[in-house]
Copies of this chain bind each other. A is one copy, B any other.
Amino acid sequence: MKAAIFKAKDSITVEERPKPSVKEPTDAIVRVVRACVCGSDLWYYRGITPHPEGSIGHEFIGFVEETGAGVKDIKSGDFVIAPFAYSDGTCANCQAGFQTACVHGGFFGGGNEGEGGQAEYVRVPHADGTLVKVPGSNFSDEMLASLLALTDVMGTGYHAAVSAEVTKGDTVAVVGDGAVGLCAVLSAKMLGAKRIIAMSRHEDRQALAREWGATDIVEDRGEDAVRAVMALTDNVGVDAVLECVGTAEANKTAFAIARAGAIVGRVGVPHDVQIDAMGTFYRNVGMRGGPAPVRAYMDILLPAVLEGRINPGKVFTFTTDLDHIADAYAAMDERRAIKSMLTIG
């Protein structure tokens, strides 16, 4: 089969690799129909964080081709969404709703052969705990894009909003205008935010943010951004902050614009971020979040997509096939695309 392979900084290739097969009785093999590139993939693509040479990609949807003897709920032929983390669904952490911390779980796309989503086939461990069956099989391209967004970015944006405890009538700020940040805007709107300040300096992203509920756009960064948000909120700060970047600067901004008692919902993977306990203490500013348990949000988000109430697939502004995976990465790296999708098979 064809699979995207990370070679080194700025170098992603497509190579012929053995098609994965069932290794554990709880495995399923999924034939991928759509996959995509994540903002977090850019960290290793850009050489900022290390990544082993090998299979990559953690966002994919497709048809189940084969299941192990221990798989009960998922059947061959099912159309499924694979959350970016696999999880058994039964451990204490899964039961608490944090499948990304499953004690028997892990993440797709970490380099191991057959476990990357940017490929024709993927071996999915703990298929019953991990995969979400989508009723039906004949989906429009638009619907496929939105279902694909549920593997990560939409659930991650939603996790930012839930973690920050966005409630009806809130004034919310979203730090980051990548696909996750935009989905965070949409999620804040779903949860009833009245005012949504999107921090963005790219016209295409601002437009989608506004379409999804942003009421204000702040183009500044750093200290200027803090001043701008404080000016918009009578110097009080916002009721909830959704941190969707992960850099030290983004985190600093996020904590600075929170009103007393607010929570920073953080979903950007932190890179060299230290949170000054004292700097947040006197304002009672909190933080929560981490890798989104997108599996836990599927009950809310999948019906919303299937019924057309949300259309997170709009984050895909560049589409190509697996052979052109390098273009998909480059388009995102150069910010020509908000998010790149791959049609496979």
Contact = CB atoms under 8 A, between A and B. Distances in A.
Contact of A98 (B100, B280, B284, B293): B284
Given A277-B270, A277-B275, A282 B100 contact: yes
Number of copies: 2
Given A92-B234, A274-B276, A282-B290, A101 B251 contact: no
Nearest to A281: B290
Contact of A289 (B163, B259, B273, B284): B284
Contacts of A286: 163, 263, 286-289
Contacts of A96: 259-261
B277 A288 contact: no
Interface string A243-284: 000000001000000011101001001100111111011111
A79 to B, nearest CB: 29
A97 interface: yes
Interface size classification for chain A = 35 or more
A309 to B, nearest CB: 27
A260 B99 CA distance: 9
Interface in A81-109: 92-93, 96-98, 100-101
A163 to B, nearest CB: 7
A291 interface: yes
B284 A273 contact: no
A231 interface: no
A285 interface: yes
Contacts of A288: 263, 284-288
B281 A269 contact: yes
B261 A266 contact: no
A236 interface: yes
A251 B274 contact: no
Contact of A277 (B236, B274, B278, B285): B274
A280 B163 CA distance: 14
A281 to B, nearest CB: 5
B287 A287 contact: yes
A297 to B, nearest CB: 13
Nearest to A260: B101
Which 4 A-B pairs rank lowest in CB-CB distance, beginning with the nearest?
Answer: A286-B288, A101-B260, A284-B290, A270-B277
10 contacts: A97-B261, A98-B283, A98-B284, A101-B260, A163-B284, A263-B288, A274-B275, A281-B289, A282-B291, A288-B288
Given A270-B278, A273-B278, 8 more contacts: A263-B288, A266-B281, A274-B275, A274-B277, A275-B275, A285-B290, A286-B289, A287-B287
